[in-house]
A = this chain, B = another copy of it.
Amino acid sequence: MTKSIEFSRARLVAPPMALPTLEIGACVEFYGIVRELEKGSLLKGLFYEAYETMAARQLERIFDSLRAAHPVQTVLFIHRLGWVPVGESSLFIRVLACHRGEALRFCGEAIDRMKADVPIWKVVAPSAR
């Protein structure tokens, strides 16, 4: 499995799709998009902050552990940091697998586990880091 984990302060752009083998039958892409309404308040955007070294390490471990149940060939993860305006993407995940079931489940569970354990935060006012 190829894993790529990236944090970016630039607008997210899906990298060109490259197939590691001709056995890939499914590509699932997920974009998390900043919504105007978050917990009842109207936003212009959100500020994201991460503990990057730890987040990358936790994500690697999550991807490795999900791979046992959902064998996939490639996972590419990009989380945007800093200010992200409403309507733009804060998260991009691409999963390549032989079959769609694996790819879809891997993607869904990876997001669930990221939201539970990976040190990334939406903050209203950024701290002076």
User: Which among A3-11, A24-32, A62-70, A116-124 touches the partner chain?
Assistant: A24-32
Decide if B33 touches A24 in the complex (CB within 8 Å).
yes
Decide if A32 touches B22 in the complex (CB within 8 Å).
no
Given contacts A100-B111, A104-B104, contact A29 B29 (CB under 8 A): yes
- Asked if A75 is at the interface (CB within 8 A of a chain B CB), the reply is no
- On chain B, the residues within 8 Å of A31 by CB distance are 17, 26-29
User: Does more than half of chain A's interface fall in helix, strand or loop, or is it mixed?
Assistant: mixed
- On chain B, the residues within 8 Å of A35 by CB distance are 22-25, 98
- On chain B, the residues within 8 Å of A33 by CB distance are 19, 24-27
Q: Which residues of A contact B (CB under 8 A)?
A: 17, 19, 22-37, 86-87, 89, 98, 100-101, 104, 107-108, 111
